[in-house]
Structure 1
């Protein structure tokens, strides 16, 4: 047992600074007195993490805007890409290898039943009883938060906290999607949204798997970023009159082996169906509000596989962090700061 009385290594305040969502919209209000659970009230398996860095995931913004079926409990504190130190552990918590002072990551799925078919098979992010950080409980946009020891992720010593934070969702989302791809070394992969938060990490993870990458995005800055990270081709969708034709011209006339769609544009899926080769794969990560004009007949005729991927489980997160920590591929996140919000109450990246 960790302790019969609970453990803590510092005086934990009863209130904390937090970026609080009070109404639907991409705005937060900085609160200096958001309540923190008293360590003595922690249930077995609960702990308190003092957050050092947090990313801002696009899904955080969707939730704040009320774009999804799951609505935030208002007022609430969002965030699920946090890195910090464990400062308290609830009494009667079974030993899970988590100790006071450990540097840990808070990911999207912060709690699961640990017993269902999904959890036992390593798909804990699909647990029907999952608890999502920033949606079901207050998340990482605060200096202190309650977490569950079973879902904490150890951060490799060689990886800085600021670099680790976006890997906990953006990074593992593309990493786990690419794990599902059955394509030989040297295969062409197109990343739609290659210059974005997920896409730029996807470029680096794809190259680490021996894939050749072409990126679709727009603007000189995105072009420079994608090419500097190792993409061999860049298609600017705003300048192109025929994206599928330009993709084939830049890669292979037969079409690419796979597409990783990270954008929420329905058109990105339509285009992918036209530039992926026969028996190719579309990795579905971005979620459009509606999928309009998708050529399902073409997909069936060409035998194209559609594989959906929604973030990653504990093992995938640890693998994604370990690969970044090795530094062999220079895997580093680029800071993308959201507009029109007051989330800079903390160190914010992602």
Structure 2
């Protein structure tokens, strides 16, 4: 099969032919039809996180495709099923976190495209218990971004504890994660204040994504950004914020723009730290949380929502051989929505 492989950190990904993997006990072999490209894949290539993948590795954790072979012991899936191979490759299944439905923080988990070979290939092997089921109404190209960008923002929105009719501010609203997050928020009955860089994104946020307000951060101080969000959100502030912009200052702003009793939920992983006004945090009873992807239940729930037509990804299809060009464009901030690698034609 053809696969894109990180062989050396900081070097271009190599596309070459390697043997097709075979599924073991409890595993399935998936023919990948489309695979989304996430910012994490750039970090895998560069090896610039504290924790690094073991090389060589096939990146990619938004693989949408069809099961073509079952490993021994698989009884819950069948050849021909439409499935997605997402970030959570597997977990121990026995710790307190796994037993209570929080397998995403299991200390013995493995991640697709990071600790286990991923989806930038014609075929990928996944554990049957960890794949997402793609509705017939959802195309493979549309399903791919849901497998990470979708489930990650859907879970983060739940973590804000905002209720229907309340305000959430999404920092980085028009990017790969943000543009689906805005739509999940709408599906959940939330009002969205989109926060992003550049007036050119205003129409996209308000008319395409259906947000109720837009705050442009370009040329503005932190105080002006926070004031703009507070003014948009009833003059008081957001009930919750979802921080997708990979800058430490976005975290401070995400906390400052909350009204009392608000929840700031962090997803982006910039290096460094950010200051917190302890006095205001205590007196206003604000909560700061991190959120990492979503559970298997979250994954299937958000695929169902997308399959109902309430979420439509802005997708640009590219070829597997263009992966390095795609990652370069991602570094330059030139990608609107999500790039999806078209690996094979729809069956």
Give TM-score scaled by structure 2 length. Answer: 0.88
- Give the conservation status (yes or no) of the 8 Å contact 1:273–1:298: no
Q: Is the 8 A contact 2:34 2:340 kept in 1?
A: no
Q: Deviations over 1:124-162 (max 9, x none)?
A: 222222121111111000001221111111111111111
Runs of 4+ in 1 over 4 A off after TM superposition: none
CA distance in structure 1 between the aligned counterparts of 2:69 and 2:163, rounded to whole angstroms: 46
RMSD: 2.0
- State the SS of the aligned residue for 2:66: strand
* Match in the other structure for 2:37: 56
Decide whether the 8 Å contact of 2:98 with 2:106 is kept in 1: yes
Aligned to 1:4: none
Greater alpha carbon shift after TM alignment, 18-27 vs 199-208 = 18-27
Deviation at 1:341, TM superposition (A): 7.7
Q: What's the CA shift string for 1:78-125, capped at 9, x where partnerless? A: 01000111111223x142x11111111001011222222222222222
**Structure 1 residue 36: Cα displacement:** 2.1
1:12-31 superposed matches below 5 A: 16-25=1-10, 27-31=12-16
Quick check: 2:248–2:270 contact (8 Å CA) kept in 1?
A: yes
Structure 1: unaligned runs, 5 residues or longer: 1-15
Structure 1 residue 17: deviation in Å?
A: 0.5
Q: Does 1:333 align with 2:318?
A: no
Alpha-carbon contact 1:324-1:332 (below 8 Å) kept: yes
Deviations 1:168-188 (A, max 9, x none): 111000101112232332111
Quote the offset at 1:346 in angstroms: 4.2
In 2, Cα distance between equivalents of 1:55 and 1:199: 15
> Does 2:41 match 1:46?
no
Contact preservation (8 Å) 2:37, 2:340: no
5+ long unaligned stretches in structure 2: 319-325, 331-338
CA distance in 2, matches of 1:284, 1:248: 19
CA distance in 2, matches of 1:296, 1:166: 37
Higher gyration radius (CA): 1
Deviations 1:267-307 (A, max 9, x none): 11111222211111111111221123333443223210112
Q: Distance in 2 between matches of 1:345 and 1:166?
A: 8
Whether contact under 8 Å (1:28, 1:341) holds in the other structure is no
Q: Which of 141, 146, 161 is the aligned partner of 2:120? A: 141
Q: 1:282 to 1:148 in 2, by over 3 A?
A: same
Asked whether the equivalents of residues 64 and 72 of structure 1 are also in contact (C-alpha less than 8 Å), the reply is: no
Does 1:119 pair with 2:98? yes
Q: Verify: 1:99 aligned to 2:87, yes or no.
A: no
Q: Give me the whole-angstrom Cα distance separating, in 1, the residues matched to 2:42 and 2:278.
A: 30
1:276 alignment partner in structure 2: 258
SS at 2:297's partner residue? helix
How many Å separate the matches in 2 of 1:231 and 1:312?
Answer: 23
Secondary structure of the residue aligned to 1:118 is helix
TM-score (norm 1): 0.87
